[in-house]
Amino acid sequence: MPNNNNSNRNIDKRVTYPVLPLRNTVMAPNIITPLLIGRKGSVEAVEKAFLGDKKIICVTQLFDYEDNKEPKAKNLYRIGTLANTLQIFRLPDDSIRLLVEGVSLVKIHRFSKSGASVNASSTIWEKKAEESSPQNEALYRTFKKVFLDYLRLNKSIPEEAILSLNEISRPDEFFYFVLANVNADIIFKQKMLEIPILEESIKEMLHFLSDEIEILKLENRIDDKVKKKLTKTQKEYYLTEQLKIIQRELGIGNDENNDILDLKKRIEQTSLSEEALKKANEEFKKLNRISHHSPEYSVTHNYLNWILDLPWEEPTFSDETCLKISMNILERDHYGLKKVKERIIEYLAVIQLAHKIKGQIMCFVGPPGVGKTSLGKSIAEATGRKFVRLSLGGVRDEAEIRGHRRTYIGAMPGVIIQSIKKAETKNPLIMMDEVDKLSRDFRGDPASALLEVLDPEQNNSFRDHYLDFGYDLSQVMFITTANSLNSIPQPLIDRMEIIRIPGYTLYDKYHIAKKHLIPKLHKEYSLEGKFEIRFSKQTIEKIISSYTREAGVRDLERNLTKIFRKIIKNYIENLENTKNSKLATQVFKITPTQLTDYLGIPPLLYSEVNRKDSPGIVTGLAWTQFGGETLQIESVKMKGSGKVKLTGKLGATMQESAQAALSYSREHYKEYNLPEDFYNKVDIHLHIPEGAIPKDGPSAGVAIVTSFISILTGKPVRADIAMTGEITLSGKVLPIGGLEEKLIAAKRANLKTLIIPQKNEPELTEISQEVTKGLDIILVNRISEVLNIAI
């Protein structure tokens, strides 16, 4: 607010007052200004002034000086304003709110320190005004008119300031009013303050105001253009259009380098499907309407990039691939598995003829470590496809398969679309490992989401929730793996062709170690030209039989790796001790007696087999995730009231087999010379050792009934026989599964005579002769045949 009181203008030429340094503010004469004071020196200067004659020198500090420090003399301008302190308010944080009124300009000659504050010795310094003339009068009028035009365009000046203009009559007072209310930086305002001649200051200010008026007119024109297009639902659109018009007026923003234009070119050049092209164009139009700073912009931009990054070109098929090469690759990478390889070759033959996937999806089912995943890699190499592996173990969210809808923060496509993008081709081989380990919860059933993916009749238009349009998966070769089919839903099993991969025999494991694992370790550890590690046949067989318990070869490889590591450690120690850069090439021969040095004492991996004919003790055969196992079944009888006690952590099915065995014994008591009421006088306790291991399944039925009849009659069971088979109450022996693994377990336990169901005879023709060689296999239809042989 201007002040016309000039009674304080005539002051002694030399004056010394406290100095108040100002930040980001230029104080002008005749103007009342509120200030907030917080620095210690400034507070002290205000207090001195208020306790004295209330005068203080306000001087602006250099703009690049640190705000939180007390300024030094070299950091302050030399032209400032002498002011009266009108009001002072002390705030709770010890800062001061001050109201000052400018009196006159002063020129500072010298600064002096006074406590925490600074004093300045200065003289009154006023702008010189030229003599009155028509030219100067015209200059004053033009200045006033231009400033009024500036005020009409600049909405930030308060109306009170405009009304107070009528009270100003002097040109210098009007200039100081303009200086205080114009939107300019501190350096410019200080420069205007320091110009000694008033008319020169007014001319400089006129140039500045003219430029500002042009900018304000341009801003208003831009604002008018944009508002014509503005609707109630287009606030963000208003900001975007305003930015575009500003860029156009200033001549900046080259569309050729614009990211949006790049997306448009990619959409035009990519061979999108009709549905995908429609979706991409819709999202592109939407992107043009969104501000770059809006979160929706990045969501839409990422979505378009996902669409354009997917492979859309039709895949090319290699004419060089032939079945012979494919078989050679399978033989090179895997030992045995004859039937599995034949089925794979048949599958590849159909693909090669039709140039597209036909038939069901292959599912490799077998215990861990038998080479299911590596078979997939070999098939990919044989067909010239890119290999992508997905681990489905523990996946319990349907969105991981089908993707998340874009309404969710951080939404992404599912693993199928991600794998396609990773492969960069429409016809990769995608191996879904551990499909039996899928789980489900409140987020959906991922196994059900796979139904469309793995169905060749439906997956030509697979709809991912994120993409929200159909994508053709018919060229993708899907292969799944599982350890068991028990947890896989039946509809999913129906879409797959189950190819069972049995556990390896001792003979198979020996050849795998000799031809694959040992050469692989030599290569991995770069032993060629340094030394060689050799294993005798007896050594490898002892590692397999005494140190591993598995259907596959992973544990075998771990034990071989342990031996390699210890030998390499010894070799390096010898190098260091002899201080030679290279020892003579050596050959390390590993014998069976050395295995305890490298692998320790053999663990007790398999239960001991009874070698003595004893009543109630029968050797059965079982299948586990580790392959075949021998099962010791023991029974004892005691005086009692016909109770049957079952121990050994038996499952419900095995408990039912024990009840069926007791019922059969009671029904046929005459055939075995048992008293009619024997079950009222004895209790039978059936136990299967290794009680911590769960056991279940119906195939132990014949072994349990043999154990019951033996203990009730007191007749011993032949210890050189192992048996397997399910029983019925009428005395029939039903077929069982896992026959090959059970035969392998019997051979490993050195049992030569086996009793198996007659209905399993067709399977014997498919089992390797290496397994059946040396075994006396007896086929039975009824329990009576088993008992006649075993007891």
How far does Cα 162 stand from its chain's mean position? 62
- H helix or E strand, kind and range, residue 110: strand 96-114
The closest of 96, 4, 25, 15 to 56, measured between CA atoms, is: 15
Beta-bridge mates of residue 734: 726
- DSSP secondary structure letters along 278-312: HHHHHHHHHHHTS-TTSHHHHHHHHHHHHHHHS--
The closest of 415, 462, 421 to 312, measured between CA atoms, is: 421
Catalytic, out of 699, 707, 710, 747 = 699
Among this protein's residues, is 520 annotated catalytic? Answer: no
Neighbours of 509 (CB within 10 A): 25
Determine the Cα angle at 199 with ends 198 and 201, to 5°. 65
- H helix or E strand, kind and range, residue 363: strand 361-365
Among this protein's residues, is 210 annotated catalytic? Answer: no
Distance separating alpha carbons of residues 628 and 606, to the nearest angstrom: 11
Question: What's phi and psi for 25, nearest 5 deg?
Answer: -145, 140
Distance separating alpha carbons of residues 535 and 544, to the nearest angstrom: 12
Catalytic, out of 189, 264, 372, 742 = 742
Distance separating alpha carbons of residues 265 and 494, to the nearest angstrom: 44
Distance separating alpha carbons of residues 454 and 479, to the nearest angstrom: 9
DSSP reduced 3-state for 339:
helix
User: Do 619 and 609 form a contact (C-beta atoms < 8 A)?
Assistant: yes
Strands 617-624 and 627-639: antiparallel
Q: Where are the alpha helices (DSSP H) in 14-120?
A: 40-51
DSSP reduced 3-state for 37:
strand
Distance separating alpha carbons of residues 121 and 108, to the nearest angstrom: 6
Q: What residues are annotated to the active site?
A: 699, 742
